[in-house]
Amino acid sequence: MRKNLLLGLALASAMTLTTVAFAAGQDGGPHGGWHGRGGHHGMMMGMQKLNLTDAQKASIKQLVKDSFAKNKGQFQNLRQQRQAFEAMAPDQVGYQQAASNLAQAEAAATQQRVTQRAALRAQIYALLTPAQKQQMAQLKADRQARMEQWQQFRAQHPVSGASTAQ
């Protein structure tokens, strides 16, 4: 249970940070421009290669900013609920109920985050020209091919000594 909770916390934090990193990258943040390291994969991957107009960039930046602002309260509430749970001792009355409540809140937050992210992707995709959509599809196919090549390479060249570590 605790392992799953920690994994959920890590994933939720990563999603939040990814949105922040992407939004910061829009205005020349620490990673600069459209190629923020660790940003959204798929839709956000390769945006710098699409030759977006200034109007498209501004629209996308606003969409991401609005999405982040819309979700900020939910992230804060969930964080407070996690902190309250973590502050409890396992032998404390109500501990199991708090765990159950947190699990339900995490599940609801995940569902909402996935649907909101899909809506954001759809809004961004709608801003692209047909040529940019086609180019994005090609970038995605190229990325998938590289990943498959990497997986084949890893299968043919297993890391020696990894299983001998004590």
Give residue for tokens 């200034």: 54
Q: 45: left (phi > 0), else alpha (psi -120 to 50), else beta?
A: beta
Which 3 state secondary structure label does DSSP give 28? coil
Separation CA 105–CA 74 (nearest Å): 10
Per cent of the chain over pLDDT 70 is 69
Window from 19-28, 67-76, 88-97, 132-141 with minimum mean pLDDT: 19-28
Domain range annotation of the chain: 2-24+39-149
Which structure tokens are listed for 43? 């839709």
Continuous H helices in the chain: 2-26, 54-87, 95-127, 130-156
pLDDT at 160: 73
pLDDT at 163: 55
pLDDT by residue (tens digit) across 146-164?
999 999 999 998 887 655 5
Task: Give residue 86's pLDDT band: very low, low, confident or very high (50, 70, 90).
Answer: very high
pLDDT at 51: 86
pLDDT by residue (tens digit) across 8-50?
544 454 444 444 444 434 333 333 333 333 444 445 556 778 8
pLDDT at 146: 95
Average pLDDT over residues 100-120: 92
Give residue for tokens 């995605």: 140
